[in-house]
Amino acid sequence: MTPFPSPRLPLLLLFSAVLTAVLSVGPSSAAAATELVRQVCDKTGDSRYCFAALYSDPRTPNADAYSLAYISFGLAYLNATHTRDHISRLLSSPALADRSPTLTSSLQSCRRGYAAAVAKLAAAYNDLNAETFAGLAEYSGGGARAAGDCDRTFGSSPYAPLMAGRNRDLTRLCEICTAVSKLFT
Ligand SMILES: *[C@@H]1O[C@H](CO)[C@@H](O)[C@H](O)[C@H]1NC(C)=O
């Protein structure tokens, strides 16, 4: 009475067995990766943040320097993209320009900076695809610049907290990228 099991099921089991085998290629590679992550994070100003950010990606425990570069530039790229989009949403709020022209112009300046950061981090990604490593540090520096410029644009304005957390995130993520870039020099 029971129907034949779907042919997909055994296939799925096979896949998951293969995946398990691939993922457990031995504790030594995971330990080496952890050593690599430590080497990178020790070069950043906030190593706890660095660990948390890198280990948010499931590939990190088995990552070599090359994969770690993908992971960290990917994190910075996504972060910058999210913040750029967030600024655009703030700017498209209809009441904003009336409420505060200064806030509007600060946000516009931040959006330009973040758009430039996104372009730099995308360029880093292209370089990684081409296995070209010489420009990586400059790209991560360019990403961090957007965050610093945005902070300075707000200065001591009461609106500064609106962007401060996001600027700090991008600064720290780019710091990780800079540390990873040094693995290739
Ligand atoms: C940026 O990255 C940090 C750390 O990974 C994360 O906590 C935060 O939510 C991210 N923000 C955006 C806007 O992607």
Q: Does domain 30-184 have CATH number 2.160.10.10?
A: no
pLDDT of residue 122: 97
| Cα 3 to ligand 1 centroid, rounded to whole Å | 47
Q: Whose CA is nearest to atom 12 of ligand 1?
A: 79
| Cα 75 to ligand 1 centroid, rounded to whole Å | 8
Q: Where along the chain do its domains lie?
A: 30-184
Average pLDDT over residues 93-116: 89
Indicate the pTM of the whole model: 0.82
Q: Each residue of 7-42: pLDDT tens digit?
A: 454 444 444 544 444 444 444 566 776 899 999 999
Contact yes or no for 120/61 (Cβ under 8 A): no
Angle, CA of 53, 56 and 164, to the nearest 5°: 40
Mean of the per-residue pLDDT values of the chain? 87
pLDDT of residue 14: 46
Q: Give the residue from 152, 153, 145 showing the smallest Cα distance to 171.
A: 145
Q: Which residues line ligand 1 (CB under 6 A)?
A: 53, 56, 75, 78-79, 82-83, 166, 169
Q: Whose CA is nearest to atom 6 of ligand 1?
A: 169
Q: Each residue of 138-153: pLDDT tens digit?
A: 999 999 999 999 999 9
The DSSP secondary structure of 39-68, one letter per residue, reads: HHHTTSS-HHHHHHHHTTSTTGGG--HHHH
